[in-house]
Amino acid sequence: MSVSISAHHEDMVPPEIVSTVFYSATVSDTLAILVAEAAHGGQRLTWCNEGAVKLLGYGVDDVRALPLDQLFPSLGGGELKLLLRRERSARMTVPVRTASGAVIDAVVMTTPDPSGRMWTMRLLSTSNEQERALRATADAHERRFSALTERSPVPTLLSEQGMRLAHVNDAFCSLVGLRAEQLLGTGWINTIHEDDLDGVIEQVAAALDGDEVEIQARLVREDATVRTTVIRFAHLFTPGVGAGFVGTIEDITDRLAFEAKLAHQANHDPLTGLPNRTLLAQYVAERFERGTGALACLFMDLDNFKVVNDSLGHTAGDELLVEVATRLRSTVRPGDLVARFGGDEFVVVCENVDETAAVALAGRVSGALATPMRLGGVDVRPYASVGVTVQTAEHESADELIRDCDIAMYQAKAGGKGRITVLDQQARAEARDKLRLVAELRDAIERREITLTYQPIFSSAEGLPVAVESLARWEHRDRGPISPATFVPLAEESGLISGLGLLVLDETCRQIAEWDHLLGPAAPPRANVNVSALQLDDNLPSQVAAALERHQLEPSRISVEITESALMKDPECAREILQQLRDQGIELAIDDFGTGYSSLAYLRRLPVDCLKVDRSFVAEMAGGHPEIASAVIALAATLNLCTVAEGVETLDQAAELTSLGATFLQGFSLAEPMTGGHAAAWFASHVETSR
Amino acid sequence: MTVSPFPEVVAAPVFDIEQILAGIDTMAAQRPVAAQIVSVANSDDTNAKALARILASDVALASRVMKLANSAYFGMRGRVTSLQFAVTVVGFTTVRTMATVALTNLDDESRLPENFWDVTTSVALAAATLAPRFGERPQDSLCLGLLAQMGAALLNHNDPDGYAEIMASQPTYRGRRTAETRRYGINSLRLTAIALEQWGFPTTMTTPLMEIDDYRNSDGALLRAAFEVAARLTTEDYDEVPISKITCGRLGEDDLVPVLDLVRADAAELRRAMLGETSDDDAGEWVE
């Protein structure tokens, strides 16, 4: 505050206010106020307040006697005039001499009175406590900030204004291998890889505009090595200075290298270092263009690899695979891809070759592989079966190309070892047809389009129906009925058998429950359900129990039929599972008995109730050869098992089998398989007529 | 050697300093936009948008700020296309400095002492480059360097003959300052300091100007070093002063080599950016 007193216009400020202000200025000890006056070509002090006395240490009278140039020892005559200007107020930071002779720094603000002959001077010591404290705080902030960045292991850039750096920390210096003075200003820009520079500058521009941004950029070190980094820019604003940024740098070079290594491991076979199946698929997919016919594939499978593994050991087997990989790589053309498909299978993919060239390459590959190598002290010639496929207009996807190549290899293998085969179109069509059928079968099972028919089984003694056998049927939308002899093995090969088996089991149980509901006591007492060898595992007993439970049926309503050959694969395991089923109260029958060479001794130990005499033995009876059927029936009787004779074609056969002692009969002549609905009607009428 | 910072014996002023400073006020009336920028740029609540808005009214000044922002010195290489962003890039202090240059007619070379801008750009670049070594902000030091000789320009403008005489008789800046004090009662750097203080530039910028001749005082060390660099580059047959002597031991001769190279290479471009004329038509596009 500066005080000037004017007497010219009495109406401007009431005198009592002037005196109040004047009084407060006089006694204030926080404001140092002096008045100077022009006199005799110079200036002298005429008045001061309490604050000035306190600040300067002079008495009031001493101040009045003090020449101005003593108060401001640094100001020469010319400069004093600049402080005491006539037309306007002035402000200067100058040293002020106190009574003790000490010099203190002060801001001096002067205001002339309208006459231009007197000046109010206000002194503000720049070293007062509050200011010192503020400065100390600011210094402490500055020190903390610089300690934080300078000692931080995170490479950091700091600009207070624009692109030019004011600070760079040690971590950044070591990252790029340069000294701070080489990086300050715009020097740091030179460390950014030329191709990334535009992007970095764009991000800095965004950061200066107030955004928080980041960018991946390469830094070129002093030794010309390159580090890949992520630079994060944050906006910085200093009042009165402008916009700047803080950049923190994360060196991700090692992380990227590690990720690349992981990616390589994911796409390459660790033994041979060749691309694996995943990369092969990716590679072919990237180059496959429908209808262009530019790709060719060679599929190789080593002959007798299992023999090497079994006789010389897996180490020798691995050694062989590595050698094969090496030979393949050195035989193919530059740019061709060699991949390990799995096990002892390798695939070569070539671009821009016709069939002749592809076959020629296959020949070279076979030749190269067949060179003898010494393995565990033995000379081995690794022959391979090679399937060749050249892309045609019919190939719709990259997968098809590799699949065809696989088919060609199987054809080569089937034709004898060490062969090269170009895919035969018919084989291709067949293989594809089979694949299509598998897909359709999967859909049919999912949509429950597999239906069941039921063929009655009669008691030979009374001639009454005592059970049915449920038989799966598939009516294909386009192909018409498909035989179980076709689709059951297909389901077994393609892993669909479990779903099919469960469908048959569940549907049979549902049907029995429905019959019970419709027919009451006239419903078929039992249904025989066929179970595939592949279903014969630990899950079977619980699956059967669940199906019975679901439809609220007694276990005695189901008989499980298993082929003799299924039992012979792992007899001990089969026996355990059958025992569990038996314990649940389920009857067990052996289907097609007599065709599977089962040991009689073993048969005795199996917990079965019934043998089904194969239809082929029954058929033989028509030619005057009842011997086998007779023997089977007699054997069953000896073991205390009942028998079902299948495929009974005539009533004579039925009579003959009855006389041989067959317990039950089943065949077209007696009753054909029928739908659940027809079976209900059939049983209703049959039981009616038999009463 | 012991140097007294404030000569005891002062010759009677033959020259009215007050009148010179009053002349600056007159200039302000001629360049109102520049004057407004000088007064608002230091305020804590100023932002780039506000400054750009004011700056846009002075097309010539706006063009220079754009040009400077796009110069190699600021590292943006032609990417600055808006005036507001140009203000962001160069910083408020630099905008203010450019306004001061315009305000005080430092851009009119015909009215300046000989060699004025060669020396000024060298001092500015040297000060900015060396600033981190002295714990100063490079941008502020650049501005200090650009404005340091303003007092000399004022003296020259008001007393062309007398000032030419001083220039001719005193090859060193230090000697020139002594002669200035003798003739005008004040040396040119103190005059600059007073003018800057008048316009509210911070004391961190005016103190070095006051302390330049006290070799024991480290506040003036950076500016002394910058003048030494400028002298070595621009004065023929210059008698070098050991750099450690004038920087309180903070710099050695080896430290100066890269700075000399850099200043020699970049001074001309900075000069073009500071003074370069751009046609008025161009500037309009930059104004947002």
Select the more confidently predicted residue: A598 or A123.
Answer: A123
* Beta-carbon separation of A76 and B10 below 8 A: yes
Token pair listed for A568: 């012979």
Over 60: is that where the pLDDT of A483 sits? yes
d(CA A263, CA A575): 48
Q: How many Å lie between the alpha carbon of A52 and the closest alpha carbon of chain B?
A: 23
d(CA B160, CA B172): 19
Specify the residue for token string 């002594």: B178
Q: Dump pLDDT digits (tens) for A248-270.
A: 999 999 999 999 999 888 899 99
Q: Dump pLDDT digits (tens) for A178-209.
A: 988 788 888 899 999 999 998 998 899 899 98
Computed over every residue of chain B, the mean pLDDT equals: 83
* Beta-carbon separation of B137 and A166 below 8 A: yes
Chain B residues with CB under 8 Å of A186 CB are 72-75
Of the candidate ranges A637-646, A666-675, B74-83, B247-256, the one whose mean pLDDT is the lowest: B74-83
State the count of interchain CB pairs (< 8 A) between A and B: 140
Chain B residues with CB under 8 Å of A211 CB are none
pLDDT value at residue A350: 92
pLDDT value at residue A3: 45
Over 50: is that where the pLDDT of B11 sits? no
Mean pLDDT for the stretch of residues B172-182: 91
Over 80: is that where the pLDDT of A228 sits? yes
d(CA B91, CA A269): 58
Cα–Cα separations (whole angstroms), residue B101 to A61, B105, B149: 46, 6, 10
pLDDT value at residue A562: 87
Mean pLDDT for the stretch of residues A114-136: 77
Q: Is the dihedral of CA A192, A197, A201, A204 positive or negative?
A: negative
Over 70: is that where the pLDDT of A557 sits? yes
Quick one: how far is CA B134 from the chain centroid? 18
Quick one: how far is CA B169 from the chain centroid? 23
Burial class (CB in 10 A: 0-12, 13-18, 19+), A645: buried
Cα–Cα separations (whole angstroms), residue A58 to A98, A101, A108, A132: 7, 11, 18, 24
Packing angle, helices B160-169 and B173-184, rounded to 10? 140
Select the more confidently predicted residue: A602 or A637.
Answer: A637
A77 confidence band (pLDDT: 50, 70, 90) = low
Chain B residues with CB under 8 Å of A164 CB are 73-75, 138-139
Q: How many other CB atoms are there within 10 angstroms of residue B33's CB atom? A: 19
d(CA A310, CA B76): 71
pLDDT value at residue A8: 52
Region of A218 please: left (phi>0), alpha (psi -120 to 50) or beta.
Answer: beta
pLDDT value at residue A666: 93
* Beta-carbon separation of A85 and B18 below 8 A: yes
Quick one: how far is CA A68 from the chain centroid? 84
Select the more confidently predicted residue: A294 or A318.
Answer: A318
pLDDT value at residue B284: 43
Q: Among residues of chain B, what percentage have pLDDT more than 70? A: 90
Q: Is the dihedral of CA A220, A222, A223, A224 positive or negative?
A: positive
φ and ψ of A558, to 5 deg: -120, 140
Tell which residue, A523, A511, A522, A470, has the closest CA to residue A673: A470
pLDDT winner (highest mean) among A287-296, A410-419, B92-101: B92-101
A596 confidence band (pLDDT: 50, 70, 90) = low
Q: How many Å lie between the alpha carbon of B273 and the closest alpha carbon of chain A?
A: 16
Classified as helix, coil or strand, A456 is: strand
d(CA A195, CA A493): 56
Per residue, the 3-state secondary structure of A239-283, as one string, reads CCCEEEEEEEEEECHHHHHHHHHHHHHHHECCCCCCECHHHHHHH
Question: Residue B210: closest CA among chain A residues belongs to which residue?
Answer: A94
* Beta-carbon separation of A79 and B185 below 8 A: yes
Token pair listed for A380: 């081995």
* Beta-carbon separation of A185 and B7 below 8 A: no
Q: How many other CB atoms are there within 10 angstroms of residue A367's CB atom? A: 11
pLDDT value at residue B79: 82
Q: How many Å lie between the alpha carbon of B170 and the closest alpha carbon of chain A?
A: 22
Tell which residue, A532, A455, A441, has the closest CA to residue A487: A441
Dihedral angle of Cα A202, A207, A212, A215, to the nearest 10 degrees? 30
Q: Among residues of chain B, what percentage have pLDDT more than 90? A: 33
Question: Residue B10: closest CA among chain A residues belongs to which residue?
Answer: A76
* Beta-carbon separation of B197 and A164 below 8 A: no
* Beta-carbon separation of B43 and A240 below 8 A: yes
* Beta-carbon separation of A186 and B73 below 8 A: yes
Say yes or no: B169 contacts chain A, CB-CB below 8 A: no
Q: Is the dihedral of CA A595, A597, A601, A607 positive or negative?
A: negative
Select the more confidently predicted residue: A233 or A132.
Answer: A233
Token pair listed for A43: 């200036």
pLDDT value at residue A11: 63
Q: Answer yes or no: are the C-beta atoms of B85 and A209 closer than 8 Å.
A: yes
Chain B residues with CB under 8 Å of A77 CB are 10, 12-13, 185
Q: How many CA atoms lie within 13 A of A528 on its CB side?
A: 27
Quick one: how far is CA B13 from the chain centroid? 25
Token pair listed for A376: 């565990």
d(CA A219, CA A232): 14
* Beta-carbon separation of A162 and B91 below 8 A: yes
Q: How many Å lie between the alpha carbon of A108 and the closest alpha carbon of chain B?
A: 11
A132 confidence band (pLDDT: 50, 70, 90) = low
Q: Answer yes or no: are the C-beta atoms of A387 and A421 closer than 8 Å.
A: yes
Order of strands, sheet of A103-112, starting from the edge strand that comes earlier in the sequence: A42-48, A32-39, A118-125, A103-112, A90-97
The greatest distance separating any two alpha carbons of chain B, rounded to the nearest whole angstrom, comes to 57
Q: Which residues does A622 contact at the CB level (< 8 Å), separation at least 6?
A: A649, A650, A653
Residue among B79, B132, B194 minimizing CB distance to A82: B194
Quick one: how far is CA A392 from the chain centroid? 34
Mean pLDDT for the stretch of residues A224-252: 91
Residue among A92, A208, A239 minimizing CB distance to B194: A92
Say yes or no: B94 contacts chain A, CB-CB below 8 A: yes
Token pair listed for B125: 């670049």
A24 confidence band (pLDDT: 50, 70, 90) = confident
d(CA A662, CA A615): 13
* Beta-carbon separation of B258 and A90 below 8 A: no
Cα–Cα separations (whole angstroms), residue B227 to A66, B97, B154, B278: 38, 19, 19, 30
Q: How many Å lie between the alpha carbon of B138 and the closest alpha carbon of chain A?
A: 6
Q: How many Å lie between the alpha carbon of A7 and the closest alpha carbon of chain B?
A: 28
Region of A177 please: left (phi>0), alpha (psi -120 to 50) or beta.
Answer: left
* Beta-carbon separation of A243 and B48 below 8 A: yes
The residues in B 177-196 lying below 8 A from A, measured between CB atoms, are 181, 184-186, 190, 194
Residue A388 is classified by DSSP as: E
B285 confidence band (pLDDT: 50, 70, 90) = very low
* Beta-carbon separation of A79 and B42 below 8 A: no
b/e map of A200-220 (b: 16 or more CB within 10 Å)?
A: bbebbbbbbeeeebebebbbb
Over 80: is that where the pLDDT of A234 sits? yes
pLDDT winner (highest mean) among A139-153, A275-289, A567-581, B104-118: A275-289
pLDDT value at residue B282: 44
**What is the enclosing helix (H) or strand (E) of A200?**
helix A194-208
B278 confidence band (pLDDT: 50, 70, 90) = very low
B229 confidence band (pLDDT: 50, 70, 90) = very high
Residue A88 is classified by DSSP as: S
* Beta-carbon separation of A79 and B194 below 8 A: yes
Residue among B79, B87, B132 minimizing CB distance to A184: B132
ipTM value: 0.77
